Amino acid sequence: MVASVNTADSFDDLMACHLDAGRKAVGPCSIVIFGASGDLTARKLIPALYHLFKEKQMPVAFRVIGFARREKTDDSWRAELRTALDQFSRTKPVDDAVWREFAANVMYCMGDITDAPAYQKLEVMLDSPGNLALRKNMLFYLATPPSQFGEVAGQLHHAGLLRRGNGEGWQRLVVEKPFGHNLASASVLNNELTRFAHEQQVFRIDHYLGKETVQNILMFRFSNSIFERLWNRESVDHVQITVSEKMGVGGRGDYYEEAGALRDMVQNHLLQILALVAMEPPVSLEAESIRDEKVKLLKSIRPLKPDAVATQVVRGQYFAGVVNGLTQPGYRQEPKVQPDSNVETFVAVKLFIDNWRWSGVPFFLRTGKCLPLGASEVRIQFRPTPHVLFAAACGNKLDPNALTLRLQPNEGISMRFNGKVPGTSVAVRPVRMHFSYDSEFGAYTPEAYERLLLEAMSGDATLFIRRDEVENAWQIVDAIRKGWEGKPLTNREFYAAGTWGPVAADDLLAPSGHAWRDPQPIK
């Protein structure tokens, strides 16, 4: 049974609360993209900026400057971007008139990021006649490898384009993941950046936090009293967070050989979702209040000692199998992957949060590649009813109540409970009440980068990761990697492509009587 949720009546529309009314205004600014010839710029950044412009959310005065070492003119770069936009825009076809108006504010600066004169050329472009605020307010987007973050920040500082702390106008650095490869490297990177910019000027981006449904976790929790009262150890049996990917590593084998699923997904995406699901209510909706609570939650996660890794963490690696009817090669047969690689393409971990709200409640996190379905969801499973009355009579047919937050695709919220099957017998069956974002609010959901770029321009750091968040997450991941040192994968840790992971992952839940609930296609 699926019960639709319909709240779109005239009264609710009238009473809708628009929190964006409190968002800081987005004033005139210049956006400089370092690594402008890269894939991220073409696939995500320029389409996001174009759509913000089309939706009239960009500032009245703005300009976008691409900085890269390849030789291009303004016109040739615009032509490249238009070709990419035709492919990657979330709405098609691209509006020619809107594109021409947007592209008039797009220009190109050729230079190497290690070359000081190139930054002087950039300064001249930024100083060109026009709106003075375009020179004072600058957003520097570092779509470069992390090893180049410090170099770019230092060169900008020495060119007088990046000042540390307050001054006339503002300058902000947006940096992409991976933010280091362990705690030590992340600390070094943080120190390099904060030599030239204040922590409040550094916006560490995790595109997962820009997803509409991830943001809705806080709204769902703290604006609905009926659920928040159940959100604790007295009502919750355990929590499962699944981020599954259907694709293999493809052409990213060299990157994955360095990162693996633990660094690529757990350190950022999964721990960020965990923090939002389990954090305490912030004292306000201000960025620092929310980020304070996320850090407190990460600090409350029980440390994993090396001997605990063997019982609380499972890794896996896919071998050849069938996905959607097509043969998928094994990870070790992927391009740029070592034939005897022990890099994990699957991770499942059992964590405990040692605070008053969650004491004793296990949190199971898992992520993997070449799984049957690409999906992200959070399942809150509530404690079973006492073994009397229906529980005693129905046994396993009496399913535990559960609340599922589907983050992607088919975004929505499902409540699972037990209902009587129609008829003369007393038969019970689990049923589902489902709320769909598309059905309720329409199909429009902005891309994550649209929201994140808008927040960076406005100076709202709520959806960005603070230094202590990064470092606390790395502490958790480093402990796991230490427990894996010198231990090759076992037979129970391999899984066929197109399945839900290794059998060892089931062993993680079985001792406590739990089982993974795999995401299901929602039609």
Domains of the chain, each with CATH number or no CATH: 25-204 (3.40.50.720), 209-512 (3.30.360.10)
Q: Which runs of E-coded beta strand occur in 9-70?
A: 29-34, 62-68
428-467: b (≥16 Cβ within 10 Å) or e:
beebbbbbbbeeeeeeebbbbbbbbbbbbbebbbbbbbbb
C-alpha 133/C-alpha 61 separation (Å) is 9
The mean per-residue pLDDT over the stretch 325-336 comes to: 91
Which of residues 351 and 423 earns the better pLDDT score?
Answer: 351
Q: Does position 187 have pLDDT exceeding 60, yes or no?
A: yes
Tell me the percentage of the chain whose pLDDT exceeds 90: 59
Which of residues 58 and 446 earns the better pLDDT score?
Answer: 58
Q: Would the pTM of this model clear 0.95, i.e. be above it?
A: no
Starting from the edge strand earliest in sequence, which strands make up the sheet with 106-110, in order? 106-110, 62-68, 29-34, 137-142, 170-175, 202-204
SS3 content of the chain, % helix, strand, coil (to 5): 40, 20, 35
pLDDT tens for 299-314 read 999 999 888 999 999 9
Q: Does position 152 have pLDDT exceeding 90, yes or no?
A: yes
Q: Does position 444 have pLDDT exceeding 70, yes or no?
A: no
C-alpha 460/C-alpha 24 separation (Å) is 7
Q: Residue 3 — very low, low, confident or very high, per pLDDT cuts 50/70/90?
A: very low
Given this model, what pLDDT does residue 13 score?
A: 46
Q: Does position 102 have pLDDT exceeding 90, yes or no?
A: yes
Q: Does position 234 have pLDDT exceeding 50, yes or no?
A: yes
pLDDT tens for 382-391 read 998 775 556 5
C-alpha 77/C-alpha 146 separation (Å) is 24
Given this model, what pLDDT does residue 250 score?
A: 83
C-alpha 98/C-alpha 248 separation (Å) is 37
The mean per-residue pLDDT over the stretch 503-519 comes to: 91
Q: Do residues 243 and 378 lie in contact, with contact meaning Cβ atoms separated by under 8 Å?
A: no
**Worst-scoring range by mean pLDDT, 2-11, 310-319, 341-350, 363-372?**
2-11
Q: Does position 373 have pLDDT exceeding 50, yes or no?
A: yes
Q: Does position 211 have pLDDT exceeding 80, yes or no?
A: no
**Worst-scoring range by mean pLDDT, 36-40, 127-131, 170-174?**
127-131
Q: Does position 96 have pLDDT exceeding 50, yes or no?
A: yes
Which of residues 177 and 201 earns the better pLDDT score?
Answer: 201
C-alpha 463/C-alpha 268 separation (Å) is 13
Given this model, what pLDDT does residue 172 score?
A: 94
Q: Which two tokens stand for residue 66?
A: 């691409």
Backbone angles phi, psi at 92, to 5 degrees: -130, 145
Cβ-Cβ contacts under 8 Å for 252 (sequence gap 6 or more) = none
Query: Considering the chain, what is the average pLDDT of its residues?
Result: 87
Given this model, what pLDDT does residue 396 score?
A: 61
pLDDT tens for 124-150 read 998 876 667 788 899 999 998 888 999
pLDDT tens for 274-286 read 999 999 999 988 8
Cα separations (Å) of 289 from 232, 280, 318, 471, 485? 21, 11, 41, 18, 37
Task: Please indicate whether residue 157 is annotated as part of the active site.
Answer: no
Distance of CA 420 to the CA centre of its chain: 39
**Worst-scoring range by mean pLDDT, 51-65, 91-105, 182-196, 243-257?**
243-257
Which of residues 422 and 261 earns the better pLDDT score?
Answer: 261
Sign of CA pseudo-dihedral 364, 369, 371, 375? positive
Among 51, 181, 238, 269, the one annotated catalytic: 269
Backbone angles phi, psi at 179, to 5 degrees: -95, 80
C-alpha 463/C-alpha 85 separation (Å) is 25
C-alpha 473/C-alpha 266 separation (Å) is 9
Q: Residue 41 — very low, low, confident or very high, per pLDDT cuts 50/70/90?
A: very high
Q: Does position 357 have pLDDT exceeding 50, yes or no?
A: yes
Three-state SS string over 400-427 comes to CCEEEEEEECCCEEEEEEEEECCCCCCC
Given this model, what pLDDT does residue 6 score?
A: 46
pLDDT tens for 254-276 read 888 888 999 999 998 999 999 99
